[in-house]
């Protein structure tokens, strides 16, 4: 991927330099065939060469309580009781690569967050100022702050692999093919086919999770209990927080207009009324 | 000409400490506010350094404002005379000062700025602490984080409005205003024109 693929840049008013059109890439996560082996976690750590992360034992098979700055791919082990039967709803948690990325919208550092023509949202940590606004902007709680570098990290969708025609490391490692990678159209087709299968086999609520509130995501998830995404730790209807939208949208323009207007008003006042004169004879004593 | 002490050494130090810290916060804050002004952060050592220092200087500013509050709280109480002054503010704006009720040590406009800076400062401090360490706010309480970004921006804009008026008045409209705050003393004539009730008090005191 190069600058020719950059279609959106954080905190930049000039248009992004991208001129290429590429099909949107998508990772499909089929939670119904995930066996919780964590091969994807290992592959992610290995490919990205991330330092190991100490963990805490909290009575679950989950590697860590949540993703961290050095751990971008976490299988969440959710337990759910369904008519007396215990269901183990494993879900691969990672950056969703939103079409409308809240992180990028909230970011004040020019170039620290970019979106590529194939849909990948990536952080450039060298431009990151460590403010953490992306963490507030993200509806999925993905970006993680590293105190040591005071910058924020997350899944890159293996942009360095995808850019040269390889699939992401996690997909490569998945032994059950519950992870697939391809164009968004292809992945949605696979996902919908799978949902039909599930519906015909006792999971009437099965659905594809591709939330429209963030313009759809570059990571779509097949859920057996699709009407209850909360069971998987997914927000029901994620959107970029309204306050962030107001702050980066109308408030910015109102504020800028008010500040420029204030300076302008002062200049006009000075031209019209000028300075006060204490020797002014009209002054009462 | 008879010169009168208007601001003590301590008052001037506190004022200028607040001014310097506020201007740093304003400049770095504007850099984070809009990409068009990000160059300010670059000039001041880069976005990373600006982001690291902004909250620390913010704490310094908060302490100075608290000190200022303790120092000027009594002088800044709004009186019945101030309400008359407010009613006649249009005359003050048009420099028709002979139609404006006599002001004490601080006029109603100055008292308003004081309140804007104190209450704006409180809002900026509280929301700023949340923005400083977003990772310290649990995910379940993320509404606090989401509200804090708005509170911080809106209260900053309110203080900026006050700051523009203050700067313009002190530097351009009221001759001697800046000198009073740097050297501390004013002429009797100045005091009689701008703060006659205060001059009466000064004259009465031994």
Q: How confident is the model over A98-127, as pLDDT tens digits? A: 999 999 999 999 999 999 999 999 999 999
Task: Give A152's strand partners.
Answer: A145
Average pLDDT, chain B: 95
What percent of chain A has a predicted confidence (pLDDT) above 70? 97
C-alpha span between A38 and A65 (Å, rounded): 14
The pLDDT-based confidence of B206 (bands split at 50, 70, 90) is low
CB A214 within 8 A of CB A96: yes
CATH number of this structure's domain A3-227+236-243, picked from the four choices 1.10.10.10, 3.20.20.450, 2.40.128.110, 3.30.70.20: 3.30.70.20
Q: Please count the other Cβ atoms lying within 10 Å of the Cβ belonging to residue B100.
A: 22
Handedness of CA A15, A17, A21, A27 (dihedral sign): negative
Q: Do B161 and A12 touch (CB under 8 A)?
A: no
Instruction: With CB atoms and an 8 Å threshold, state whether B150 touches A282.
Output: no
* CB-based burial label for B118 (10 Å; 0-12, 13-18, 19+): middle
CB pairs under 8 A between A and B: 135
Give ∠ CA A100-A48-A122 in degrees, rounded to 5. Answer: 20
Query: Which token pair is B204?
Result: 């009465």
Least confident of A80-94, A160-174, A177-191: A80-94
Is 90 exceeded by the pLDDT of residue A277? no
Minimal-distance CA residue of chain B relative to A11: B35
Mean pLDDT within A228-246: 96
Out of B146, B172, B196, whose CB is closest to A241? B146
pLDDT band, very low/low/confident/very high, at B2 (cuts 50, 70, 90):
confident
Does residue A77 register a pLDDT over 80?
A: yes
How many angstroms separate the CA atoms of A229 and A234, rounded? 5
CA B112 – CA B86 distance, rounded (Å): 10
| Beta bridge partner(s), residue A114 | A9, A122
For range B76-99, the mean pLDDT: 94
Residue A279: its pLDDT value, please?
A: 63
> B9 Cβ partners below 8 Å, 6+ apart?
B184
Structural domains of chain B sorted by starting position, each given as residue range(s) with its CATH number in brackets: 3-204 (1.20.950.20)
On whether the CB atoms of residues A207 and A226 are closer than 8 A, the answer is yes
Nearest to B38 among A110, A246, A280 (CB): A110
Check CB contact under 8 Å for B146 and A136: yes
List of residues 6+ apart from B107 with CB closer than 8 A: B82, B85, B92, B194, B195
**Per-domain boundaries in chain A:** 3-227+236-243
* pLDDT higher than 60, residue A285: no
Q: What pLDDT is stored for residue B84 in this prediction?
A: 95
Q: Which parts of chain A are beta strand (E)? A: 6-9, 25-30, 74-82, 85-93, 113-116, 121-123, 144-146, 151-153, 179-183, 207-209, 219-223
Phi, psi torsion values for B4, nearest 5 degrees? -120, 140
Number of H helices, E strands in chain B: 10, 2
Quick one: pLDDT at residue A33? 96
Q: Cβ contact (<8 Å) for B168 and A266?
A: yes
- Dump pLDDT digits (tens) for B99-149: 999 999 999 999 999 999 999 999 999 999 999 998 889 889 999 999 999
Interface predicted TM-score (ipTM): 0.91
Mutation site for B-interface testing, chosen from A12, A66, A132, A153 by largest number of B Cβ within 10 Å: A132
Q: Check if the beta carbon of residue A51 is closer than 8 Å to that of residue A44.
A: no
Residue of A nearest to B49 (CA): A129
Is residue A157 within 8 Å of residue A168, measured between CB atoms? yes
A26-36: pLDDT as tens digits: 999 999 999 99
Q: Which of A125, A220, A120, A111 is nearest to A161 (CA)?
A: A120
User: Average per-residue pLDDT in chain A?
Assistant: 94
| pLDDT at residue A83 greater than cutoff 90 | no
User: Which tokens hold the place of A73?
Assistant: 């791919």
Helix (H) or strand (E) holding A169: helix A169-173
Q: A54 near A40, Cβ under 8 Å?
A: no
Contacts with B173 (C-beta within 8 Å, 6 or more apart), sequence order: A269, A270, A273, A274, A275, A276, B95
Residue in A256, A169, A9, A269 with CA at minimum distance from that of residue B92: A269
Please give the Cα distance from A161 to A164 (Å, whole number).
5
Who contacts B17 (Cβ-Cβ below 8 Å, separation ≥6)?
B60, B64
Distance, in Å, from the CA atom of B53 to the CA atom of A153, rounded to the nearest integer, reads 22
Beta pairing, strands A144-146 & B185-187: unpaired
* Tokens encoding A251: 């408030």
For tokens 């408030």, name the residue. Answer: A251
Q: What is the pTM of this model?
A: 0.93
CA atoms in the 13 A half-sphere facing the CB of B188: 7
pLDDT beyond 80 at A135: yes
Residue B78, H or E segment: none
By percentage, how much of chain B surpasses pLDDT 70?
99
CB within 8 Å: A136 and B147: no
Section A51-66 average pLDDT: 90
- For residues A156-179, one letter each, b for 16 or more C-beta atoms within 10 angstroms of the residue's C-beta and e for the rest, the string is bbbbebbeeeebbbbbbbbeeebb
């Amino acid at each position: 991927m190069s600058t020719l693929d950059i279609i959106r840049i954080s905190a930049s008013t000039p248009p992004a330099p991208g001129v290429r059109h590429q099909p949107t890439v998508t990772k499909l996560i089929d939670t119904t065939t995930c066996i919780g082996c964590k091969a994807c976690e290992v592959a992610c750590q290995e490919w990205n060469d991330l330092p190991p992360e100490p963990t805490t034992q909290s009575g679950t098979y989950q590697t860590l309580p949540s993703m961290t700055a050095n751990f971008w791919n976490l299988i969440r082990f959710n337990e759910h009781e369904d008519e007396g039967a215990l269901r183990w709803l494993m879900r691969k948690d990672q950056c969703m690569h939103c079409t409308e990325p809240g992180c990028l919208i909230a970011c004040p550092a020019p170039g620290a967050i970019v979106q590529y023509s194939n849909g990948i949202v990536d952080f450039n940590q060298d431009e990151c100022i460590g403010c953490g606004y992306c963490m507030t902007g993200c509806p999925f709680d993905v970006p993680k702050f590293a105190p040591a570098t005071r910058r924020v990290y997350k899944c890159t969708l293996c942009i360095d692999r995808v850019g040269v025609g390889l699939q992401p490391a996690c997909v490569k490692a998945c032994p059950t093919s519950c992870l697939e990678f391809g164009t968004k159209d292809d992945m949605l087709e696979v996902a919908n086919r799978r949902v039909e299968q599930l519906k015909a086999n006792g999971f009437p609520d099965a659905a594809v999770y591709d939330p429209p509130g963030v313009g759809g995501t570059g990571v779509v998830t097949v859920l057996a209990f699709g009407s209850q995404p909360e069971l998987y730790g997914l927000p029901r209807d994620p959107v970029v927080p309204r306050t962030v939208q107001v702050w980066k949208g109308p408030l910015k323009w109102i504020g800028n207009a008010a500040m420029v207007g204030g300076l302008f008003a002062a200049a006009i006042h000075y031209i019209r009324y000028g300075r006060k004169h204490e020797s002014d004879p009209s002054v009462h004593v | 000409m008879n010169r009168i002490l208007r601001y003590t050494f301590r008052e001037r130090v506190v004022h200028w400490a607040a001014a310097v810290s506020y201007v740093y916060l304003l400049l770095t804050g504007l850099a984070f506010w809009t990409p068009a002004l990000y160059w300010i952060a670059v000039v001041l050592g880069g976005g990373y350094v600006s982001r690291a220092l902004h909250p620390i200087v913010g704490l310094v500013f908060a302490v100075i404002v608290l000190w200022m509050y303790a120092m000027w709280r009594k002088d800044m109480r709004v009186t019945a005379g101030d309400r008359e002054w407010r009613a006649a503010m249009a005359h003050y704006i048009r420099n028709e000062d002979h139609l404006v009720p006599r002001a004490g040590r601080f006029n109603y406009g100055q008292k308003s700025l004081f309140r804007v800076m104190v209450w704006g400062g409180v809002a900026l401090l509280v929301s700023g602490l949340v923005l400083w360490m977003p990772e310290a706010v649990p995910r379940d309480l993320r509404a606090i984080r989401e509200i804090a970004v708005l509170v911080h921006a809106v209260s900053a804009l309110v203080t900026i409005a006050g700051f523009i008026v203050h700067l313009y008045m002190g530097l351009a409209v009221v001759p001697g205003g800046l000198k009073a705050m740097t050297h501390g003393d004013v002429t009797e004539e100045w005091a009689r024109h701008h703060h006659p009730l205060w001059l009466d008090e000064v004259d009465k005191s031994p």
